[in-house]
Structure 1
Amino acid sequence: MAGPRVEVDGGVLEGGGQILRVSTALSCLLGVPLRVQKIRAGRSTPGLRPQHLSGLEMIRDLCDGQLDGAAIGSTEVTFTPGKIRGGTHTADTKTAGSVCLLLQVSLPCVLFAASPSELRLRGGTNAEMAPQIDYMAMVFKPIVEKFGFKFNCDIKMRGYYPKGGGEVIVQMSPVKQLNPINLTDRGSVTKIHGRAFVAGVLPFKMAKDMAAAAVRCLRKEFRDLYVNIQPVQEPGDQAFGNGSGIMYD
């Protein structure tokens, strides 16, 4: 049963979208009605952007909740959650808005759904001011799975600024509870590998130059370690738009 509505000031601290994502996910999980005011008050363009709106709408739909005041530019929304259900849920920013931030708000919710879930997330896979999809797959995923759950992250299409067009499909089964973990020991770096990529009209030489420069810089700091950064030209049928980047772990 829903309790008293929680009031959240979206303009505190950084005043960005993270306050909205965290509070909405917690509202959905706890079954507590929510109102968020001053949404993204700390940004140059306050209010909801397409990525935030599509994330809110997906959370509303996956729990059969009620969402009021949600539109592009809105600075205040109210949300009344229902029961979280599994199945296939889709969010499409229709821009280069980050699919990783869509995953941030939705994954905690479907983790405790009544049945397995599939999230179809569309937008930018490698956007500015957001985690890269490579980070989510290579760093975030293995760490959170230590809590006792698994999920598949299938990158169907990479999407870049300004049009996005990427698609990621995430599949997972629900759990009853999470396991405690201990991550107080950082361990030691034993090797470094990664990829320098280009997509669209950007030349492959750019990827090779980025890879070579990264290897030179890393070997100055880690002289005795194995370092391997591979240059990659993203296939045309697996990337939408022009983009570049470098990832290593």
Structure 2
Amino acid sequence: MAGSSAFRWEGAGCLRMRLSLAALSGRAVRICGIRSQELNPGLRDFEASFIRLLDKVTNGSRIEINETGLLHGGKIEHDCHTQRSIGYYLEALFYLAPFMKRPLKATLRGVTNDQTDPSVDTLKVTALPLMKRFGIDDEGLELKVVRRGMAPGGGGEVIFSCPVRRFLKPVQLTDPGKIKRIRGVAYSVRVSPQIANRIVDSARSILNKFIPDIYIYTDHMKGTNSGKSPGFGLSLVAETTNGIFLSAELASNPQGQGSPVLPEDLGQNCAKLLLEEVYRGGCVDSINQSLALLYMALGQQDVSKVQIGPLSPYTIEFLRHLKSFFQIMFKIEAKPLEEQKGGEKVLMTCIGVGFSNISKTVT
């Protein structure tokens, strides 16, 4: 998209963020010099795949890509490029889906679990409950893993369904509560089923010292449901007394990359990552900070407050872009040290811009 009033940026940084916010705000963007100094300039295959997905789920968008872009030319089906997992694409769909003309049902194919992006398992148990807090709460909200696919071969399949809303509700999430239970899934594909059991035992050896209510189930998919590459991993989530979900996850190294990972090491390290996330605390975990802030900004013209842990670098950049696209700023308050439990916390406050889905006539 281009125009005299278009936002202009240089380079490939924050491409997904910028295009998603452009679609929501209706503002044109012009991005130049994408990897212009590299031997292989232009868009990477996964970025081109994301642009194709954005073109499928939007109506009226005009996308122009010049010779340095290198773009190879209701119900959505999309094959995600295996350089990035399905989670990379899902995060953008979470931004857009509630404001579409009709409820979304998207089938995404590719890598479901890797070491770069949030896994489908983690997004299912953290992002979906967060979306319900903002009023996206009927039975049409679902994320289902049909086939699991590990990097690098992929072969996984996920179905994401989301209803539409005219408005988002303001929220007041200032007290995360105390951890009451831990749940998780240890998955394995094209390896021995015993690996998942070893992961569970090693993770529990750490977590059992802190809380008794722990259940980690094993998921060993076979045949066509196991994707194209071997691998294993663990996704953990801690639930609080106030219905807040904090997550951590780890996956094995992709086939042919790096040294082999022992299931015992992976399980223990993932458990420690969960404890670190609990220490960071807040009412939204690290991977969903930007989603919560976007929904707060687009909510009704009322005050929303959310307490979160330390802002991630991605979240800080996201706040800058929210200001550019929607002219909205957040009040950021650090909690007094004597009131904090665990790491430093910040209280994010804003008044929503009153974003309305004009295609949705009733709430």
Q: Does 1:63 align with 2:54?
A: no
Letter in 2 for 1:245: G
2:20 maps to which of 18, 25, 39: 25
**Structure 2 SS opposite 1:111:** helix
Q: How big is each residue's C-alpha offset from its partner over 1:98-120, in whole Å with a ceiling of 9 and x where there is no partner?
A: 11111122332232112222112
2:48 maps to which of 25, 48, 53: 53
Question: C-alpha distance in 1, partners of 2:30/2:51?
Answer: 12
**In structure 2, what is the equivalent of residue 5 of structure 1?**
6
**Structure 1 SS opposite 2:126:** helix
Are 1:47 and 1:74, in contact at CA under 8 Å, matched by a contact in 2? yes
**Structure 2 SS opposite 1:131:** coil
1:118 maps to which of 86, 105, 122: 105
Question: C-alpha distance in 2, partners of 1:61/1:247?
Answer: 30
2:195 maps to which of 206, 209, 227: 206
Question: C-alpha distance in 1, partners of 2:85/2:8?
Answer: 26
Q: Please state how far the C-alpha of 1:10 moved relative to its aligned partner.
A: 4.2
Give 4+ residue runs of structure 1 displaced > 4 Å after superposition: 38-41, 43-47
Q: 1:115 to 1:232 in 2, by over 3 A?
A: closer
TM-score scaled to structure 2, two decimals?
0.57
Gaps spanning 5+ residues in structure 2: where? 238-363
**In structure 2, what is the equivalent of residue 193 of structure 1?**
183
**In structure 2, what is the equivalent of residue 82 of structure 1?**
none
Q: How big is each residue's C-alpha offset from its partner over 1:28-63, in whole Å with a ceiling of 9 and x where there is no partner?
A: 11111111235479x998753332211111212322
Q: Does 1:164 align with 2:154?
A: yes
Q: 1:149 to 1:48 in 2, by over 3 A?
A: same
Q: Please state how far the C-alpha of 1:96 moved relative to its aligned partner.
A: 5.3
Q: How big is each residue's C-alpha offset from its partner over 1:56-102, in whole Å with a ceiling of 9 and x where there is no partner?
A: 1121232242222278x849x9xxxxxxxxx1123212425211111
Q: Number of aligned pairs? A: 228
Q: Which moved more, 1:154-163 or 1:233-242?
A: 233-242
2:165 maps to which of 168, 175, 185: 175
1:155 maps to which of 123, 132, 145: 145
Question: C-alpha distance in 2, partners of 1:47/1:69?
Answer: 10
**In structure 2, what is the equivalent of residue 80 of structure 1?**
none
Are 1:125 and 1:166, in contact at CA under 8 Å, matched by a contact in 2? yes
Q: Does 1:226 align with 2:227?
A: no
Letter in 1 for 2:27: V
**In structure 1, what is the equivalent of residue 123 of structure 2?**
136
Gaps spanning 5+ residues in structure 1: where? 78-86
Q: 1:24 to 1:185 in 2, by over 3 A?
A: same
Q: Does 1:108 align with 2:103?
A: no
Are 2:85 and 2:113, in contact at CA under 8 Å, matched by a contact in 1? yes
Letter in 2 for 1:30: S
**Structure 1 SS opposite 2:208:** helix
Question: C-alpha distance in 1, partners of 2:173/2:120?
Answer: 23
Letter in 1 for 2:111: G
Q: 1:40 to 1:139 in 2, by over 3 A?
A: farther
Q: 1:26 to 1:167 in 2, by over 3 A?
A: same
**Structure 2 SS opposite 1:190:** strand
Identity %: 26
Question: C-alpha distance in 2, partners of 1:60/1:234?
Answer: 33
Q: 1:230 to 1:21 in 2, by over 3 A?
A: same
Q: Please state how far the C-alpha of 1:164 moved relative to its aligned partner.
A: 1.1
Q: Please state how far the C-alpha of 1:192 moved relative to its aligned partner.
A: 1.5
- What CA RMSD, in Å, does the superposition of the two structures yield over aligned residues? 2.8
Q: How big is each residue's C-alpha offset from its partner over 1:103-158, in whole Å with a ceiling of 9 and x where there is no partner?
A: 12233223211222211211111022100101110111111221111421121111
Question: C-alpha distance in 2, partners of 1:154/1:172?
Answer: 12
